[in-house]
Amino acid sequence: MGSTIWIGNIQFSDVNVPVKLHTAVSQNRVQFHLLHRTDRAKLRQQMICRFDKAPVPAEEQAKGFQVDDRKYILIDPEEFEQAEPESSRIIDVHEFVKTGGIDPIFVEHVYYLEPDSSNRSYNALAAALKDMDAQGVCTWVMRKRAYFGALQSAGRILRLNVLRYSDEIVQAKSLGLEAFELSEKEVNIGSELINKLTVKFKPEKYVNEHQKKLREMIEKKAVGKKIALFTPKHLKPTKPSKLLEALEKSLKKAA
C-alpha cells in the first residue's frame, strides 16, 4: 500500500466521508538518459533565447500568450495564481450514474481511498454503491488543480477515478475516415471469427517480457558482449480483394 497522497472529505446531501488517497498503480520501467555522443556526458536542458542565442537564467524568463506574429501578452506569476482554483478538502459529489455509464476512455488515473477516522459512513457508502451498481460524479481541488472524477466501490473499498475533461477527448469523426461498403457475408464471418476467438479476460496472463529482455541486453552490453540485431517482423497487409478469402481461411483455422 502506497503512502497517503492527499486527505479529503467526500460530500453530498448531508453525507460526509473522510478519506485518504493512495496510488493504485505503480509502473517500473527502464529509464534512459540523453548523452552527448562525443564525450558521453549526461545532457541537461537549457532555455536559449532565440534572438541572442544565449542561455537565459530562470529569473529572466516570463510566460507569454501569443496573440500574433511575434506579439505576446505577458502573464505574471501573481496572475497565474489568481486563476488557480480555491483550495479545499471537499470531494464534492454532484450526481450518481450507472457504473457502465462512463466510457473508460475518460479514466486518466485511479486512486484508492482509505477511510480516515469514520468507518461507518465509508462502509455504508461502499456497500450502497456496490449494491446499486452506481458511481458518483465528483469534483475536487488537489494541489492547486481542479479535478473531475468518478467515485466507485471496488470490493469493500472506495476508489476515485480521475476523469479527463470531455473536450480533451478526440472524436472519432475528426479522423476523417471514409465509409467503406462491406458485404453482409464478410461481416458475418468476421463476427463469427471474433466469437470463436473470444476468451475470458485474464490480465495475469500478460507479463512484461520486454522489460526483462531489455535489462538483459543492457547487462550484456555492459560487459562488452555483442548484441544480435533483428529486423522487426512486418506483416503483409491483406488486399481488399482477398479479404473474404482470408476470413474464410481464418474461420477454418479457428474451428
Residues 33-92 that bind another protein (CB under 8 A): 33-52, 55-56, 60-75, 79-80, 82-85
Subset of 99-118 contacting another protein (CB under 8 A): 100-102, 104-107, 110, 112-115
User: In this complex, which beta carbon is closest to another protein, that of residue 89 or of residue 187?
Assistant: 187
Which of 207, 19, 41 shows the shortest CA–CA distance to 111?
19
Among 87, 143, 178, 255, binds another protein (CB under 8 A): 178
Handedness of CA 187, 189, 195, 201 (dihedral sign): negative
Among 78, 143, 198, 255, binds another protein (CB under 8 A): 198
Q: Does 162 bind another protein (CB under 8 A)?
A: no
Among 10, 93, 142, 160, binds another protein (CB under 8 A): 93
Which of 149, 132, 131 shows the shortest CA–CA distance to 140?
149
Q: Does 129 bind another protein (CB under 8 A)?
A: yes
Return the residue matching grid coordinates 505503480: 26
Subset of 220-249 contacting another protein (CB under 8 A): 221-222, 227-240, 243, 246-247, 249
Q: Is 74 helix (H, G, I), strand (E, B) or coil?
A: strand
| Distant-in-sequence, close-in-space partners of 187: CB < 8 Å, separation ≥ 6 | none
Q: Does 133 bind another protein (CB under 8 A)?
A: no
User: In this complex, which beta carbon is closest to another protein, that of residue 88 or of residue 250?
Assistant: 250
C-beta separation of 166 from 148 below 8 A: no
Count of residues interacting with another protein (CB under 8 A): 169
User: In this complex, which beta carbon is closest to another protein, that of residue 89 or of residue 165?
Assistant: 165
Among 77, 155, 160, 255, binds another protein (CB under 8 A): 155
In angstroms, give the least distance from the CB of 46 to another protein.
4
Structure-block grid coordinates of residue 83: 486563476
In angstroms, give the least distance from the CB of 77 to another protein.
12
CA 22 vs. chain centroid, Å, equals: 17
C-beta separation of 18 from 7 below 8 A: yes
Q: CA 117, CA 218: separation in Å to the nearest integer?
A: 48
Structure-block grid coordinates of residue 240: 481488399
Cα angle 146, 101, 191; round to 5: 130
In angstroms, give the least distance from the CB of 88 to another protein.
13
Among 5, 7, 16, 169, binds another protein (CB under 8 A): 169
